[in-house]
Structure 1
Amino acid sequence: METAPGPHVLVIPFPAQGHALPLLDLTGLLAARGLRLTSTKGCGPEYFAFFIHALTSLRDPIRAWAKSQPDPIAAVLADFFCGWAQPLAAEIGAAGFVFSPSGVLGTAVPHSLFRRLVTRPPDRADDDAFRVTFPGIPGAPAYEWRESSMMYRNYVAGRPEDPRVRDSVRRNFLWNLDSSVVGFVSNTLRALEGRYLDAPPLEDLGFSRVWAVGPVAPESPDARGGEADDAGLGAWLDAFPEGSVVYVSFGSQAVLTPPVAAALADALDRSGVPFVWVVGPAAGDVVPDGFEERIAARGRLIRGWAPQVAALRHRAVGWFVTHCGWNSVLEAVAAGVPMLAWPMAADQFVNARLLVDEARVAVRACAGGVGVAPDAGELAAVLADAVGEKGRGVAQRAKELAKEAARAVKEGGTSYADLEDLVQEIRKLR
């Protein structure tokens, strides 16, 4: 039987890899359910505050385009860094939905900071260990000032100097909390964040409903394309026992300073564990001289892109040293790989606490922070303990969570149900 075409949804991604990829994955899921989608495009950001401000200039041309469409826009689905799209949705008579590439907790915390304008008391103005409490979030979590969003810390410190840029960043978050917003669509799942999803609607998310539809990434490692193992990593991993290899990667944004890279290399050397270290394109500048030759029998360095999804699903990979970026977190969760948490910035400290203390699928690798070098001896002990007997409990819990994540996205699962409900909500708008 023929069915009427679905409502027209305008999708506005924030053009950074960690934001755009999950939204494109979600767009594919919505298209498969009959919705008609149009997406804006952009180039990657150099400095997030300036880029958030610059993207607001898209508002007028998008408004003009939307009003010229013969098929009216029923809904606008925009990344949470594109808060300007929410008043735009109201202007064109569409419903506004906020997409979160982070978890619910990792989204609520920065919105809370910008909503409440939290500052350190004068007598602790230089104390990065000052703890900020979030009373509107279940459990009233507290984080050190240094663990807060760098974007927010720059804001209260008067950076960037241009007040238009700073005000634009804060308005971005406040627009997401406006009462006209229908709700948040989050790349998360109840098995991981049920405490925050099943609570009453959070004030730090504008009391809005949250649809937990994750993990939205395809199950197959090569479903996105470009996952060919040109470096022969799979064949190299085949030589190691199950769960014995530690995979090390800090995502697409973090760049290790030479002292941090030297401490990591020293720890890997001392630990004696087999490992894969994705060091990025600047590897030649940060890897200590002679290190690669010294560990050639049990270590592999990858400069540039690596097939991370496929690697995490290889039987030999038992642990993942990660910055706790949300995409990497969900890739590890789906693969059933426990994590060694080394947060750097953004939502990563919040994610690390969630993984270590609540989900119990991770162990702290070090305190973390951009440019903060860990104690090599302590990190080496953490690595050795993880692949040994001490890490078995966390590894088992990671495997259990992977099964829950797989069930969540299949028919009858919680994420599947939320996705179907979201589609029906949008269809009603027509």
Structure 2
Amino acid sequence: MGSNAASAGPLHMLFFPLMSPGHMIPMVDMARLFATRGVRSTIVTTPLNATNLRRTVDSSAAHGLPLSLHVIPFPDPAATGLAPGQENLSTVPTAHFNTFVMALFHFQSPLAALLRELRPDVLVSDSLFTWTADLALEHGIPRLIFHGAGAFPLFVLTNLVNYLPLDPSTESFTMNGLPHPIRLHKNGLPELVDNFFMLKLLGEAEAKSYGVVVNTFHDMEPSYVNYYKNKNQTGIKAWCVGPVSLFCRAAEERAGRGESPADRERVLGWLNSKPAGSVVYMCFGSLCHFSGAQLREIALGLEASGKAFLWVVRREAAEDAAAEAEWMPEGFEKRVEGRGLVVRGWAPQVEVLGHAAVGWFVTHCGWNSLQESVCAGVPMITWPLFHEQFINEALVVDVMGVGVRMWEGFRRNRLEEAKVLVTAEEVAAVVGRVVGGGGEEEVETVARKAKEYGEAARKAVEEEGSTYEDVTSLIKELDAKRKEGQEDV
């Protein structure tokens, strides 16, 4: 089935991302990457999510790329238990995460109908769409898994089964057998570790899938990429397709990153006035929430650091004047005027990190942010909050050596309104120590390594680079598989 006997035209890949910024952005960038290589690429999403992607798709199509967008309805709220309009994880309260995940099963019927209509040659779907493995088999096409994470966190999570269930008294343990022994904290493991039903589904779906595409490049995490590429060890094929953000250099080509032209010009114009490497950029992604008390500590810490800063605050924390007044120190923006800029909502992160003025990045260690920082050669101050972010922090600090921790030991944001995870004094001390150099050997070494990884990332996506060759190999293999299917018809 698929488009097998229907046409000898270009390979047709259908991309179905999880409705969450951290998954949609890289998968749409990936679809665009394959389109630049002559692959007909179709992105599938829901109406509200499509509004964020249409600019990217329309711009790419206008430049002659075979990229298109197909919209299917989000399941009825009466069936999912979600509120109307909650079509993206960024709009769903943390407590309703599992409700959202269960709602994904309602997409089986509309996606099956779409596969019958479009007859693609390949289905690339997010790992949480476990049922798409069977759906692809029914339609006689390969399914490629996209996890949204890198090779290192996937390796760690795969090996966790050897340590589960953890003793109730265990607070932390060392995972041995890795090229770099890693200390993991029980309370820092992804929430999915406790969902044995979902872990079982993920394992079964992976066994039925054709392979895995990973948003990484070989030289970023070579030992772990090599493991995933060894089918004898993993039982499944793997290809590196990253860093996908490097393939979309023009602002209008970037997938649904949310910035308006006016916001972009304001932010970049402000950075233009700052010396090279003098600014710390602080942003915690689209799903991370802080208490008002913690936001206040961040503000006071940035002010006390004496360093220039660009701080992105979630729109929800800033759009209500009364709510903002509770955490924003009185007169704060006036006192830091010229030295600090608070952005409410989104900033053009890829361009910000690529700006010469930005010297360090305070990050929650989400995989996309981590990748974008590595691509820009910008060292990181790590502040993980949930999901696999504590594992990603170990990669950044302990394996790659391109970051320093905001704090030592283990702490976790529990979303308690009065909870302070990191004090103003701690923020000021770390930011003040690293931004602008200062000659400290550890800091200088971290900054140097970050630049080296940035150069390696750019080489990986160039012709004959490791990622370029992986993408070429994958396209050839998928095309050969399509031709096999045509012969079988």
- What is the CA–CA distance in structure 2 between the aligned matches of 1:369 and 1:10, rounded to whole Å? 38
Show the counterpart of 1:121: 167
Moved more, 290-299 or 366-375: 366-375
CA distance in 1, matches of 2:260, 2:131: 35
Amino acid at match of 1:93: G
Q: Which moved more, 1:56-65 or 1:220-229?
A: 220-229
2:271 to 216, 237, 251: 237
Contact 1:5 1:35 in 2 (8 A): no
Question: Letter of the aligned partner of 1:428 in structure 2?
Answer: A
Q: Aligned letter for 2:479? A: R
User: Which residue number corresponds to residue 355 of structure 2?
Assistant: 314
CA distance in 2, matches of 1:258, 1:84: 40
Q: Is the 8 A contact 2:229 2:239 kept in 1?
A: no
What letter matches 1:256 in structure 2? F
Residue 55 of structure 1 aligns with an amino acid whose one-letter code is L
Structure 1 residue corresponding to 2:335, chosen from 290, 294, 298 = 294
Alpha-carbon distance change, 248 to 204 in structure 1, aligned in 2, over 3 angstroms: farther
Classify the secondary structure of the residue corresponding to 1:73. Answer: coil
Alignment of 1:130 onto 2:182: no
Residue 175 of structure 1 corresponds to 204
| Deviations 1:29-48, CA, capped at 9 Å, x for gaps | 11222323333213213233
Query: Paired residue for 1:19?
Result: 23
Unaligned runs of 5+ in 2: 1-6, 47-86, 319-323, 415-419, 483-489
Give 3-state SS (helix, strand or coil) of 1:15's partner.
Answer: coil
* Counterpart mapping for 1:239-258 below 5 A: 239-258=273-292
The answer to whether the 8 Å contact 1:17/1:252 transfers is: yes
Residues 281-314 of structure 1 deviation map (CA, whole Å, 9 limit, x = unaligned)? 1132533333222222411111112122221122
Q: Do 1:340 and 1:363's aligned partners in 2 also have CA atoms closer than 8 Å? A: yes
Distance 1:200 1:279 in 2: 36
Tell me the distance in 2 between the aligned counterparts of 1:389 and 1:221.
35
Which residue type is aligned with residue 164 of structure 2? V
Task: Tell me which of 357, 364, 371 is aligned to 1:323.
Answer: 364
CA distance in 1, matches of 2:14, 2:135: 11
Report the equivalent of 1:370. Answer: 413
Match of 2:133 in 1: 86
Q: What residue is the counterpart of 2:428 in the other structure?
A: 380
Q: CA deviation at 1:138?
A: 4.6
1:337 and 1:399 in contact (8 A); partners too: yes
CA separation of 1:175 and 1:221: change in aligned 2, threshold 3 A: farther
Alignment partner of 2:106 out of 57, 78, 83: 57
Q: In structure 2, do the counterparts of structure 1 residues 176 and 359 end up closer, same or farther at CA, with 3 Å as the change threshold? A: farther
Partner of 2:321: none
Q: Distance in 1 between matches of 2:148 and 2:358?
A: 26
Q: Secondary structure at the match of 1:255?
A: coil
- Show the counterpart of 1:164: none
1:208-228 deviation line (CA, Å, top 9, x unaligned): 222111011235251425563
Q: Which amino acid aligns with 1:400?
A: E
Structure 1 residues 107 and 220: CA distance shift in structure 2, 3 A: same
Number of paired residues? 407
Task: Assess, with a 3 A threshold, how the Cα gap between structure 1 residues 50 and 41 changes in structure 2: closer, same or farther.
Answer: same
Residue pair 1:84, 1:175 contacting (<8 A) in 2 also: no
User: Does the 8 A contact of 1:108 with 1:205 survive in 2?
Assistant: no
SS at 1:38 equivalent: strand
Q: Distance in 1 between matches of 2:307 and 2:445?
A: 19
> Partner amino acid for 2:151?
V
Aligned partner (choices 213, 232, 240) of residue 212 of structure 1: 240
* Cα distance in 1 for residues equivalent to 2:312 and 2:350: 13
Does the Cα contact within 8 Å between 2:300 and 2:329 map onto a contact in 1?
no
Residue 4 of structure 1 and its aligned partner are, at CA, apart by: 4.1
RMSD: 2.5
1:186 corresponds to 2:214: yes
Return the alpha-carbon distance in structure 1 between the equivalents of residues 232 and 153 of structure 2. Answer: 11
Cα shift at 1:139: 4.2
Q: Could you tell me the percent identity over the aligned residues? A: 33
8 Å CA contact 2:182–2:394 kept in 1: the answer is: no
Unpaired segments of 5 or more residues in structure 1? 157-166
1:262 aligns with 2:306: no
Q: Which amino acid aligns with 1:370?
A: N
